[in-house]
Chains A and B, each alone.
Chain A
Amino acid sequence: MFIINCPYCGERDQSEFSCGGEAHIERPKQPTELSDDQWAEYLFMRKNIKGIQFERWNHIHGCRKWFNVVRDTSNDKIHAVYKMGERPPIK
C-alpha cells in the first residue's frame, strides 16, 4: 500500500491504479522473424527484481493514462515517475 504521484493528477492512493508490469519490454518489430525462444522471452520471461524495478502503471480510476514508475520492490518506495516515451530519470 502506497501513494503514487500520477504525472497528470498528482498524488493518489495506489488502489486507484492498476499495474501493467515490467516497463520497456519492446514489442517485436518483425514478429514473423522471431524464434520460439525470442517469443518466450518477450511474452513470459520477467526480471521480477527484488530492488529497483521499472514498471508501467495506469491511473485506471482517474485519468486512465499510462506512465512509468521506478519503485524499490523490497520496500515499495517510489524513486521516480515519468511519462510514456520518456527516458528513465534513474539508471
Chain B
Amino acid sequence: MCNLKPLNIQYLYSIYEQNMKNKYSIFSLIKNALSGHENWQRAWRDPEPKKEYDVIIIGGGGHGLATAYYLAKKHKLTNIAVIEKGWIGGGNTGRNTTIIRSNYLWDASAGLYDHALKIWEGLSQELNYNVMFSQRGVINLAHNLQDVRDLKRRTHANRLNGIDAAWLSTEEVKKFCPIINTSQNIRYPVLGGTLQRRAGTARHDAVAWGYARSADKMGVDIIQNCEVKGIRRSGDQVEGIETTKGFIKTKKIGVVAAGHSSVLANMAGIRLPLESKPLQALVSEPVKPIIDTVVMSNAVHAYVSQSDKGELVIGAGTDSYVSYTQRGSHNIVEETLRAILELYPIFSRMKMLRQWGGIVDICPDASPIISKTQVKGLYFNCGWGTGGFKATPGSGDLFAHTIANDEPHRLNASFNLNRFVSGDLVDEHGAAAVAH
C-alpha cells in the first residue's frame, strides 16, 4: 500500500502550497472553484518579440510548440520564440481527428511513431496538463484479399519492431466493435482487420496548450498574430525573419508550418517535394456512448470514433488538387458518409453538426521530413500530411535534437530531405495514405 498520511488540514495546506505556483491539481481546482473560477492565472504570457533569439520556431501548432518545449527542457536553450500567424493550435493541430497509433510498416517509421506513442503515455503527467490521452485501440479493416495480405504483413512487421499488433478475424472485429456491419453481402465486406490496443485518441487543443504553457514557463516567447513574411539569408546562412511585427534576428530557424511549408520554403529559396491539399472532417450531434474504439478503413475511406462529448468524429479524404482554402469539396464528404452508412447502418439517422477542413502537406512517400536543409541554420519539419497529430511529441523531441545539435537523431535520420535525391524513400502509403 502507498504511504498514507493522516488527513489533516495542515498537511492538505502544505500540498496545496506546493501546487500553488501555477500548477494544476485538485487543490488549485478547489481553490479556484471557491472563488468562482475568476482568478485562474493566464497559462502563457503574451510578449512582444525581442530583437534577437537563439532559435526561432515558425508555426505555433503542436509540433512547433513541442519543439520549443524540448529545446528548452532537454537542450537548455531558452532564448527561443515561437512565431504564429494566427492563434496557437489554430492550424491542423486543432482540426484533426486526433487518432494516435504507431502501426507503420517500415523500421524507420516504426521507430519514429512508437517513440511518439511512448511519450504520449506519460504526457499528461509530464506537462501537468490533461491531454486526455485515451488508449481505446484502433482497428484497421480489410475489405479485399490484398488488404488482408497487406495488413497481415504489417502486423508481423509491427511485432518484429516491438509494436503491439494483432490480426482479427471478421468475427473478432464484430466482437470488438459490435455495431460494424459484417454482413458478407455488402459491397466491400469486412474480411478482418488489425488491432493496436495501445493506440487511441487525445484532446488536440490540450496538446497545444499544454506544451505552450510548459514552454512559456521555461522562458520561451510565444508570439501570436505575427506572420512571417520573409526569411533573410546572407549567402547560405540564415540571418533572421521579416514579420508583421518587424525584423527578428536569429541564426537558427525551425519551420513547422504544415500546409504552408512550401510558402516558407519559397521565402528561403529552397525547394520541397510537397503538395498542400484540403483534408476534411466532420462531427455529428452528440449521442450516448456507442463506439468505444477507433475504426478505420482505407479501402472505402471512412473512419470513425466518438468524442468524450458524444459526437461521432468522422474523417474524410483529401481533395485531389492543391488548395489553401481550408474548405474541401462536398463530394468528398458524401463519399465518406456513404461508406460510413454501409459499415454502420445504425448511424443512418444521425445528423452532422459541423464540417471543416485543414491544409495538409503531402509528401510523395507519405512520410514526413524532419531535416536540415542546404541553408545553414534552416531546418524543416513538414510533410506530415494527413497523419502528423499522432507524432506531435516525438516530432518535437527529434526536431529539437536536430536543431540543437545540427545533426539528426538516430530516429529521424531516415526522414531527411535528401532522400528524394538518393532515392532512399520511406514508402508508407499502405499505413498512411488515407488512414490518419
Interface, chain A (partner B; CB < 8 A) = 1, 13-15, 18-19, 21, 36-37, 39-41, 43-50, 53, 55, 71, 73-76
Contact = CB atoms under 8 A, between A and B. Distances in A.
The 5 nearest A-B residue pairs measured at CB: A44-B273, A48-B262, A19-B321, A1-B329, A15-B331
Contacts of A75: 325
Given A37-B421, A46-B273, A53-B322, 11 more contacts: A14-B321, A14-B329, A15-B331, A19-B320, A40-B273, A43-B364, A48-B276, A50-B276, A55-B321, A73-B324, A76-B325
B325 A74 contact: yes
Nearest to A16: B331
Interface in B195-211: none
Interface of B: 260, 262-263, 266, 271-276, 320-325, 327-331, 364, 420-423
A15 B329 CA distance: 8
Contacts of B266: 47, 49
A55 B330 contact: no
A18 B272 CA distance: 23
A48 B274 contact: yes
Contacts of A36: 421-423
B364 A44 contact: yes
A55 B322 contact: yes
Contacts of A76: 323, 325
A31 B264 CA distance: 31
Contacts of A45: 271-273, 420
A26 B323 CA distance: 23
Contacts of B272: 45-46, 48
A75 to B, nearest CB: 6
Contacts of B422: 36
A81 B274 CA distance: 24
A18 B422 CA distance: 30
A59 to B, nearest CB: 13
